[in-house]
Structure 1
Amino acid sequence: MRADARRNYERIIECARQAFTEHGPDAPLDDIARRACVGAGTLYRHFPNRDALIEAVYRARIEHLAGLAYELAETMEPMAALEQWLRDQVAYVLSEHSLALTLKSSMDQTSETFTMCRTMMTDAAAALLTPAQQAGLVRADLEPHDLIRLGHGIATACETAPDVAPRLLSVAVNGLRPVQE
């Protein structure tokens, strides 16, 4: 994709995310194009229909969160990276929970995008969990999806009291550590 086309694509995604947050998945596509400072033709060249745009917004958010895991795995010690990613995941779910629910409910749960996003998150969690397990820092019986459920569960439980999330996450992270016999 040319640089200008890439910028348009990214701007459309961000403006769509904002519009979907404000108005739900039925936000007017013309409004999204206007916000992105592109014509309707440009929007439809990138996204032939509303479903394609919804899936692209969801995929972009998941790609960002998964990308953070790999970045942290490369730049931090295993346990610190895992803890930071859990904090990032909780913050993401707290800040965009209603958007994610709206987008997920608008998507086919068996779609290629949904399946790809699930795999992307599981692989990202594994990139953090495996080194921590190999170093003996976390329980060996944990699975990558456990981390995803843990972060999502804490964020969901703290939706009405987000200031409690760091404390609950701290308690949960201590529970990830191997049991001392």
Structure 2
Amino acid sequence: MPAPPRRTRSDARQNRERLLEVAALVFAEQELDAAPAVIAQRAGVGVGTLYRHFPTREALIDAAYQRRLTLVCEQAAELLPGRTAAEAMQEWMTHFVGYATAKHGMAQALNTVIASGTDPYAGSRALLTGAVGTLLAAGAEDGSLRTDLTADDVLLFMSGIAQSAGQAGSPEQSARLVGLLLDALVRR
């Protein structure tokens, strides 16, 4: 009989999480110029640990992107307790624009993942639609958000804000645009 799979040690899980966090930041800053040794050093681990978790640059880029997206999407539900859905939506949209702006910095790195035959965006739409849907449903329940919009509508608007913020916009302009979008989402 085959041996049962071993559980990952807690320090190994922490190393992996730290590597993903640092890799996302470094790839956003340096794109393909990011050296694995720099990522490992900033994460406080050896290069061997990096390669044990992520055997290729593409695997590291994909995992870092997926982790960041998952964390942003999980925030939607985490922001609801103690806030109206409209307040949670505004805070989440601000987080999303920050995430999307950093993702623009990773664009070249993500293109290498796509070229390797992996689609890092395959599950993105479902995660994002789920996050926005959670906030819209809470807004319908507490009466703070309009009920005639879909998650896809909101994501389309947010994509435009994120696109402009990533190219030439300033953080202040992004905040104003998020505020304008929230005004359109609030139930009157």
Q: What TM-score do the two structures reach when normalised by structure 2?
A: 0.80
Q: Which moved more, 1:50-59 or 1:25-34?
A: 25-34
Matched, 1:5 2:7: no
Q: What's the CA shift string for 1:119-176, capped at 9, x where partnerless? A: 2121111111112134443333311122223223223334433312222222221112
Partner in structure 2 of residue 173 of structure 1? 182
Query: Mapping of 1:2-81 within 5 angstroms?
Result: 2-81=9-88
Kindly indicate whether the alpha-carbon contact (under 8 Å) linking 1:8 and 1:36 is maintained by their aligned counterparts in 2.
Answer: yes
Q: What TM-score do the two structures reach when normalised by structure 1?
A: 0.82
> Which structure 2 residue ranges, 5 or more long, are not aligned?
1-7
CA change 1:111–1:134 in 2 (3 A) is farther
Matched, 1:106 2:112: yes
Partner in structure 2 of residue 143 of structure 1? 150
Hey, what's the Cα distance between the residues in 1 that align with 2:21 and 2:152? Answer: 28
Hey, what's the Cα distance between the residues in 1 that align with 2:74 and 2:172? Answer: 26
Hey, what's the Cα distance between the residues in 2 that align with 1:35 and 1:69? Answer: 29
Hey, what's the Cα distance between the residues in 1 that align with 2:98 and 2:47? Answer: 33
Hey, what's the Cα distance between the residues in 1 that align with 2:119 and 2:80? Answer: 27
CA change 1:145–1:106 in 2 (3 A) is farther
Partner in structure 1 of residue 170 of structure 2? 161
Hey, what's the Cα distance between the residues in 2 that align with 1:6 and 1:157? Answer: 36
Q: Which amino acid aligns with 2:146?
A: R
Kindly indicate whether the alpha-carbon contact (under 8 Å) linking 1:79 and 1:137 is maintained by their aligned counterparts in 2.
Answer: yes
